[in-house]
Amino acid sequence: MSYTALYRKFRPNTFSGVVGQEHIVKTLKNQMQTKRISHAYLFCGTRGTGKTSTAKIFARAINCLHLTEDGEPCNVCSMCEAILAGRSVNVMEIDAASNNSVENIREIREEVKYPPTEGIYKVFIIDEVHMLSGSAFNALLKTLEEPPAHVIFILATTDPQKVPVTILSRCQRFDFRRITTEDIANTLAGYLQTEGLFATTDALHYVAQLADGSLRDSLSILDQCLAFFSGEEVTLEKVQEVVGAVDKSVFFDMTEALSKKDAQKAMELIEKILFDGRDVKQFISEFLEHLRNLLITATVAQPQRILDLSAENTERLQAQANTLSAEELTYWIGRFSTLQNDIKYAANTRILLEVEILRLCSQWADKDVTALAARLAGLERKVAQGVSVVQTIPTQQPKQTQQKPKKRPPALEEDKQNLQKNWHTLCNAHFEGSLKGMLSQVEIGFKEDDFVYLVCGYDALASILNKHLDEITETIAKNTEKTFQFQTIVKEAYDQWRETMYGKEEELQNGMSDPEFESLMSGYFPEADMEP
pLDDT of residue 379: 65
**Claim: this prediction has a pTM higher than 0.95:** no
Question: Is the model's pLDDT at 365 over the cut of 70?
Answer: no
pLDDT of residue 172: 92
Question: Is the model's pLDDT at 515 over the cut of 60?
Answer: no
Q: How far is CA 52 from CA 161, 385, 496, in A?
A: 19, 55, 71
**How high is the mean pLDDT of the chain?**
81
Tell me the C-alpha distance between 356 and 506, whole Å.
58
- Per DSSP bridges, beta strands 443-446 and 40-44 are unpaired
pLDDT-based confidence at 275, cuts 50/70/90? Answer: confident
Question: Is the model's pLDDT at 384 over the cut of 60?
Answer: yes
Tell me the C-alpha distance between 418 and 366, whole Å.
42
pLDDT-based confidence at 451, cuts 50/70/90? Answer: confident
- Give the list of residues 6+ apart from residue 261 with CB closer than 8 angstroms, or none: 360, 361, 362, 363
- DSSP of 71-119, one letter per residue? S---S-SHHHHHHHHT--SSEEEEETTT--SHHHHHHHHHHTTSPPSSS
Tell me the C-alpha distance between 294 and 291, whole Å.
5
pLDDT of residue 43: 94
pLDDT of residue 531: 46
pLDDT of residue 208: 87
- HEC string for 236-288: HHHHHHHHCCCCHHHHHHHHHHHHCCCHHHHHHHHHHHHHCCCCHHHHHHHHH
Tell me which of 312 and 192 has the higher pLDDT.
192
pLDDT-based confidence at 520, cuts 50/70/90? Answer: very low
Length of the chain, in residues: 532
H/E element, 528: none
pLDDT of residue 395: 47
pLDDT-based confidence at 389, cuts 50/70/90? Answer: low
76-85, 227-236, 382-391, range with greatest mean pLDDT: 76-85
pLDDT of residue 408: 52
- Give the list of residues 6+ apart from residue 512 with CB closer than 8 angstroms, or none: 518, 521, 530, 532
Task: Supply the DSSP symbol for 177.
Answer: P
Tell me which of 157 and 501 has the higher pLDDT.
157
The dihedrals phi and psi of 326, each to the nearest 5 degrees, come to -65, -35
Tell me which of 425 and 405 has the higher pLDDT.
425
pLDDT of residue 247: 65
pLDDT of residue 393: 46
Among 135-139, 353-357, 456-460, 501-505, where is mean pLDDT lowest?
A: 501-505
pLDDT of residue 267: 92
pLDDT of residue 410: 56
> Is residue 64 exposed (0-12), middle (13-18) or buried (19+ Cβ within 10 Å)?
buried
The three-state secondary structure class of 190 is: helix
Tell me the C-alpha distance between 504 and 524, whole Å.
16
Q: What is the pLDDT of residues 42-84, one digit of tens each?
A: 999 888 899 999 999 999 999 888 888 888 888 888 889 888 8
Q: How far is CA 308 from CA 116, 139, 185, 303, 312, in A?
A: 47, 45, 12, 9, 12
The three-state secondary structure class of 153 is: strand
pLDDT of residue 485: 86
The three-state secondary structure class of 492 is: helix
pLDDT of residue 125: 92
CA-atom Rg of the chain in angstroms: 37
pLDDT of residue 411: 57
Q: What is the pLDDT of residues 100-149, one digit of tens each?
A: 888 888 888 888 888 887 878 899 999 999 999 888 898 888 888 888 88
Q: What is the pLDDT of residues 489-510, one digit of tens each?
A: 988 888 888 888 777 655 445 5
- How confident is the model over 431-446, as a mean pLDDT? 83
Q: What is the pLDDT of residues 233-261, one digit of tens each?
A: 888 888 877 876 666 788 889 999 998 88
The three-state secondary structure class of 355 is: helix
pLDDT above 90 coverage of the chain, percent: 13
pLDDT above 70 coverage of the chain, percent: 83
- How confident is the model over 526-532, as a mean pLDDT? 48
pLDDT-based confidence at 374, cuts 50/70/90? Answer: low
